[in-house]
A and B are shown apart, each in its own frame.
Chain A
Amino acid sequence: MARFVTRRLVGMVVVLFAISVLVFLIFNVIPGGDPGKRICGKNCNNALLTQINKDWGFNDSLPVQYVTMMKKVFTGELVSYSSQLNVDQQIKKGIPITFSLCIGAAVIWMAFAIVFGYLSAVKAGGFTDRALTILALVGISMPVFFLGAILLLYLTSKIQLFPTAGYVSLTSDPVQWAYHLFLPWITLAVLFVGFYSRVLRSNMLDVMNEDYVRTARAKGLSERQVRIHHVLRNSMIPVITLFGLDFGAVIGGGAIITESIFSLNGVGQYAADAITNVDLPPIMGVTLFGAFFIVFFNALVDITYAWLDPRIRLGTEAR
């Protein structure tokens, strides 16, 4: 186990390093990317430009600039080009919002996906199954920005059922927190509910044909016991691993669109702004943040998979 963890940590460092170099190079190669000129502004003159290049170190060679930037990433001193705000602090401020959005949506989507997938599989071919299938396909096909816009229009503007924007922290007012996040949660969850319920349904239909399910019935277990203890339990393994990967991706930046539509100033929103402004330090910060979570959840998924499936955990068969 210790070896596994060490290997994963080393892998994570390598991946993050490669990503940081790639982002840095891309930024320095794209046209118009010269940060000195952009900081200088619309009224730039040579004297000011010289000062800026000196003070920000833009005259240094690329490797030196890269190392300086990486140092700042670790000491938390990294500062944006377009506004001189501390990147680290801005990301930290965005984290509670992004986490609230992603975790809440994840809980909702898993709960509904399991219920819908289970019902669909158990009543396969029947009306319930067909209805849920259509719902799932609609959910998968509906683009996030469209769903968000529609919800905003009908539930906040035409009928004032929910607030239009803003975030209330969990610690200050849990009810308001949930109230403000309700529509964003739905928007983010719908796609995944559709997808995951289909995956679970498909897994369950496969597992239901397995021999051990037949054994369970032959033992005299009730149908419900068979379905939950044997079918659902085994069907969930791939679903859990998928979830780990998707959740990592959502936290790492997949919630950008939802955050923009509902004006939630999370890390995704910060990333979107940085990209629009072609501002390297926040882009670097958010990319590393996102990459870290994706790699982390990848590793977590592997560990969880081993825990869920004893065949992996305990290695090859004993003789």
Chain B
Amino acid sequence: MSWLRGVCSRTGIGAVAAVAGLAFVAVGLTSCGGGSSSTSGTQGGDLNFDETSYPDYLDPQLSYTVDGWEAEYNTYIPLLTFKHAAGSAGTEVVPGLAKDLPTISTDGKTYTFQLQQGLKYSDGTPVKASDFQSTVQRMFDVDSGGSPFYTGIVGAADYQSGKASSISGIKTDDSTGKITIQLTKPDGQFEDELAIPFTALVPPDTPAKDQTPNPPPSTGPYMISKSDPGHQFVLERNPEWAKTNEKLVPDVPTPHADKITETVVKNLSSQTTQVEQNSADFMIDPPPTDRIPEVESKYPDRFRKETTVSTYYFWMNVTTPPFDDLKVRQAVNYAIDPAALQRVYGSLLSPTQQVLPPNMPGYSKFELYPHDINKAKQLLQQANPSDKDITVWTDDEEPNDRAGAYLQDVLKQLGFNAKLKIVNGATYFTTLGDLKTPNLDIGFSDWFQDFPHPNDFFGILLNGAAIHPTNNNNFSQFDDKALNKEMDTLAQQQLNSSTEAGYAAVDKKVMEQAPWAPYGNREVTTFTSDRINFDGVIFSPVMQQDFGSFSVK
């Protein structure tokens, strides 16, 4: 995985060619993705997709959901992007609008980019280096949920609070295309943060408020030609892509379909029927749990499951009894049977017992707590907690509510007096995240990666510094000083094989402390109509469905 990244940069290819000879280079080039589509399937076609709800935003600075990012992946290109490939290959950061990956100073605090010259937005306006600064500033102006990723840029905090009129840490030169970014401290996640859509370049005159009804001009192969919020939007080929941008952005392949219309259809079962009957080409969300066996058995050649980089887990509050006792937490881990929970999730769950999911760099499988209810009871006897009254939290989105009920049942078997508290899905996490909420003992949570960097998990969910009185995400309030230090140190370094090994070790050490009882990685599905070239559809581990890979047979 890491050598692939090295090869695909321009300098890398040159080096390999020199060593391996032309034939090898040809192979290497195709695996890097070129200017044309890398898989079979015809060009052209108008596709119809169904979604259950409209993306939260169709505005690259604001959108923070899978739906939105899927629409933006081939539309709004930042300086960097994620390689258009499935599996772990898709976690690699490659150049987007920038010529190359950045040059990073030795102290890790300065990133230098070269913007490709000659790029144009879909309305014909030229793309300038200063657009990067105006874009990042716009992101702060609209109070984007992504802005916490970028407050490490020098001057960003002042800009955000209104003390400065621009971000001093970003310097650009339109004549040369040079972009320099200063960070307050080194950040191994910064490249990933520049590859997610929040900093995708938009013209400087884009208004500083949500543009979903009227999306900004784009730089990618698609543009959003119509947006009817709540109902339907349409992606069509960006004329400037074929004319200008395509050759300047080699790591973004040209999509197959001419047009993709995504329509909101509320009823998930109706969507399933439509794809079965080929009146829709694809459904964004998985079919309802009770129809999956039907779809799986009747249409195996156009249905498959995809693993997301996510972890579903039960957190335990380590600051109060009974979960302040390690033995009790370990007992819970032994008592949980991930296979049983897999059934609860209608088989759309891949069992696990670790913090990091597969396809996350740093993942290394281990199994500390194989399911053993007797061992659990034993540990509990030894621990003999005095406080047996606990509240089990979960939200009302099925099947999470049933997972919560399962946990309650398991805890009762262990001798606890467990009460189940179900909270509305829209307010669940803010309720948990408010430390003043009483009885935060144990409960359901999930976390989907923002980008493929382990600190996206550790730094936010398990680092002591991440415990906030409100909007907290470290629900177990885990604060191990030694582990905090390890996480911080690793976060400042760039990802390579040794940092990954370091993260694998942190994963294991955290689970030895068992602040969580993780149980699964969520799966979603790819289900298409029969006119779609099914094998060509790419599921990116970061951006999920790659719309550009859909083609008609």
Contacts and interface: CB of A to CB of B under 8 A. Distances in A.
Q: Is A in direct contact with B (CB under 8 Å) within the complex? A: yes
Interface of A: 30-34, 37-52, 55, 82-86, 89-90, 93-94, 149, 152, 156-157, 160, 163-166, 259-265, 269-270, 273, 276-279
B489 interface: no
B147 A48 contact: yes
A32 B433 CA distance: 10
Nearest to A276: B426
A39 to B, nearest CB: 7
B106 interface: no
A157 B277 CA distance: 8
7 contacts: A32-B423, A37-B470, A39-B143, A49-B470, A84-B212, A164-B273, A277-B426
Interface residues of B, number: 56
Contacts of B276: 157
Interface in B425-443: 425-431, 433-434, 437
B148 A45 contact: yes
B274 A165 contact: yes
Which 5 pairs of residues, A with B, have the shortest CB-CB distance? Answer: A32-B427, A41-B145, A44-B471, A84-B210, A164-B270
A276 B396 CA distance: 10
A265 B267 contact: no
A37 to B, nearest CB: 5
Given A43-B148, A45-B151, A157 B273 contact: yes
B264 A265 contact: yes
Contacts of B273: 152, 156-157, 164
B273 to A, nearest CB: 5
A32 B143 contact: no
B534 to A, nearest CB: 22
B88 interface: no
Contact of A32 (B145, B212, B430): B430
A263 B471 contact: no
Interface string B402-446: 000000000000000000000111111111011001000000000
A278 B426 contact: yes
Contacts of A39: 143, 145
Given A51-B161, A93-B231, A265-B231, A43 B450 contact: yes
Given A48-B143, A262-B267, A37 B433 contact: yes
Contact of B212 (A51, A83, A262): A83
Contacts of A84: 57, 62, 209-210, 212
Nearest to A164: B270
A42 B271 CA distance: 29
Contacts of A52: 143
A72 to B, nearest CB: 14
Nearest to A49: B471
Contacts of B62: 84
A162 B307 CA distance: 35
Contacts of B229: 83, 85, 89-90
Contact of A160 (B146, B267, B277, B471): B277
Q: Which of A30, A49, A52, A166 has the most CB of B within 10 A?
A: A166
B427 A279 contact: no
A89 to B, nearest CB: 8
A39 B213 CA distance: 19
A105 to B, nearest CB: 18
Nearest to A94: B230
B230 A85 contact: yes
Given A164-B274, A263-B270, A51 B426 contact: no
Contacts of A260: 266-267
A86 B209 CA distance: 12
A185 B254 CA distance: 45
Interface of B: 53-54, 56-57, 62, 64, 140, 143, 145-149, 151, 157, 160-161, 209-210, 212-213, 228-231, 263-267, 269-271, 273-274, 276-277, 279, 423-431, 433-434, 437, 450, 460, 468, 470-471, 473
Q: Which of A42, A52, A260, A278 has the most CB of B within 10 A?
A: A42
Contacts of B145: 39-44, 48
Given A52-B143, A93-B231, A152-B269, 6 more contacts: A40-B145, A85-B229, A152-B267, A164-B265, A165-B271, A276-B424
B213 A85 contact: yes
A265 B143 contact: no
A40 B53 contact: no
A43 B269 contact: no
B161 A263 contact: no
Q: Which of A50, A160, A276 has the most CB of B within 10 A?
A: A276
Nearest to B472: A44
A85 B54 CA distance: 11
A152 B212 contact: no
B398 to A, nearest CB: 13
Contact of B263 (A42, A82, A90, A166): A166
A38 B53 contact: no
A112 B12 CA distance: 76
Contacts of B279: 163-164
Contact of B265 (A33, A43, A44, A165): A165
A85 B53 CA distance: 13
Contacts of A261: 267
Contacts of B143: 39, 48, 51-52, 55
A310 B524 CA distance: 65
A120 B288 CA distance: 43
A82 B276 CA distance: 32
Nearest to A167: B231
Contacts of B437: 31
Nearest to B263: A166
Nearest to B424: A278
Contacts of A279: 426
B409 to A, nearest CB: 26
Contacts of B470: 37, 44, 49
Nearest to B450: A43
Given A47-B160, A47-B161, A277-B426, A165 B270 contact: yes
Q: Which of A41, A160, A279 has the most CB of B within 10 A?
A: A41
A82 B437 CA distance: 23
Contacts of B473: 42-43
Contacts of B57: 83-84
B219 to A, nearest CB: 23
A269 B63 CA distance: 23
Contacts of A263: 264-267, 270
Contacts of A89: 213, 229
Nearest to B229: A85
Contacts of A42: 64, 145, 429, 473
Contacts of B209: 84
Contacts of A41: 64, 145
Contacts of B147: 47-48
A43 B471 CA distance: 8
B160 A48 contact: yes
B270 A47 contact: no
A85 B431 CA distance: 25
Nearest to A41: B145
A281 to B, nearest CB: 13
